[in-house]
Chains A and B, each alone.
Chain A
């Protein structure tokens, strides 16, 4: 197993760009997935396979990777984007083993 490290919190004003990072030594070998979790709700997938946006996810959400770091970018943040965000990747334990980052609380000021 290994760790995926995220900043505990990110704060931005409405209309600005939020960037949430996820770092892990194994990330260059595996895809990264991103989930949004609003208070009291189940997680929602917002980015799959590093950069792909599932249907129904607004275009302001995008993903990228560079080396051992994956980044979720929210361009033109809206108040409704305030949530916890988690990265997820494959763990080293086997096919179905997955690992989550510790989560980042996005606050819209």
Chain B
């Protein structure tokens, strides 16, 4: 069974940093690209970042580009999201999700339960 388990969410002050982790199990980790998707309170889903299966390429939404860094440890089956220069508007539940690809299109069939990040003074 595919499982994704996020951790690391916390209350942090504006301008601060946080590192989220997503531990994966139940599938060959090195075969799949992974993503972080966030959801602000009472708001919709927002794609944040992605990393290829090898970790060689990373991608970011404009809203976090230059402040967030995604990485993965293929020995530990874990993906990370380093979040720096945090802003109030980064407050959200952060989901880890595994990409599926069909006909060149990417979507998500498996999600974690999310880890909450609150940016507030």
A residues adjacent to B (C-beta < 8 A): 1, 30-31, 33, 35, 37, 42-43, 45, 48-49, 54, 84, 86, 88, 90-91, 93-103
List the B residue with the shortest CB-CB distance to A88.
B107
Query: Is there an interface contact between B111 and A42, defined as CB atoms closer than 8 Å?
Result: yes
B residues within 8 A CB of A94? 59
Q: A97: which of B45, B47, B95, B102 is its contact (CB, 8 Å)?
A: B47
Enumerate 9 A-B pairs (CB-CB under 8 Å) in ascending A order.
Answer: A45-B107, A48-B107, A49-B102, A49-B103, A93-B59, A94-B59, A95-B59, A95-B106, A98-B106
**Are A45 and B59 within 8 A (Cβ)?**
no
Of residues 51 through 72 on chain B, the ones whose CB sits less than 8 Å from some CB of chain A are 52, 59, 61-62
For the side of the interface on B, what is the size category? 20 to 34
* Chain B residues engaging chain A, CB cutoff 8 angstroms: 33, 35, 37, 44-47, 50, 52, 59, 61-62, 95, 99, 102-103, 105-109, 111-114
Bound: A102/B42 CA distance, A: 11
A31 near B105 with CB under 8 A, answer yes
Q: Is the CB of B59 within 8 A of A31?
A: no
Beyond A42-B113, A96-B33, list 5 extra A-B contacts (CB 8 Å): A35-B45, A88-B45, A96-B35, A96-B59, A97-B59
**C-alpha gap A101/B46 in the complex (Å):** 9
- With contacts A31-B105, A90-B106 known, is A100 near B45, CB below 8 A? yes
Per the bound structure, the CA–CA distance linking A54 and B106 in Å amounts to 15
